[in-house]
Amino acid sequence: MKKRFSYVLFSLLVIFGGIYFFQCKEGNTDINTQKKNPDKTIENRYYRQIVYSFVSSAENSSTDYEEQYSYMEDIQDGRGYTAGIIGFTSGTGDLLEVVKEYQKIKPADNILVKYLSPLEAVEGSDSHEGLGAAFEEDWEKVGQTKEMMQAQDNIVDKIYLYPAIKFAEEDGLGLLGQYIYYDALVVHGPGEDPDSFNGIRKEALKVSKSPSQKGKEAEYLKAFLKTRTKIMVKEEAHQDLSRINFQEQLINQDNFELDLPIHWEMYGDEFRLSEQDIN
Residues annotated as catalytic are: 59, 77
Please tell me what DSSP assigns to residue 271: E
Contact criterion met (CB below 8 Å) for 133 and 139: no
Sort residue 130 into left (φ over 0), alpha (ψ -120 to 50) or beta: left
Please state, in angstroms and rounded to a whole number, the distance separating the CA atoms of residues 110 and 125: 25
Cis peptide bond prior to 38, omega within 30° of 0? no
Please state, in angstroms and rounded to a whole number, the distance separating the CA atoms of residues 184 and 224: 10
Cα angle vertex 187, ends 265, 242, to 5°?
Answer: 20
Please state, in angstroms and rounded to a whole number, the distance separating the CA atoms of residues 148 and 144: 7
In 10 A of CB 40, how many CB atoms? 15
Residue 32 backbone dihedrals phi, psi, to 5 degrees? -70, -30
Contacts of 260 (CB under 8 A, 6+ apart): 50, 273, 274, 275, 277, 278
Contacts of 223 (CB under 8 A, 6+ apart): 204, 207, 208
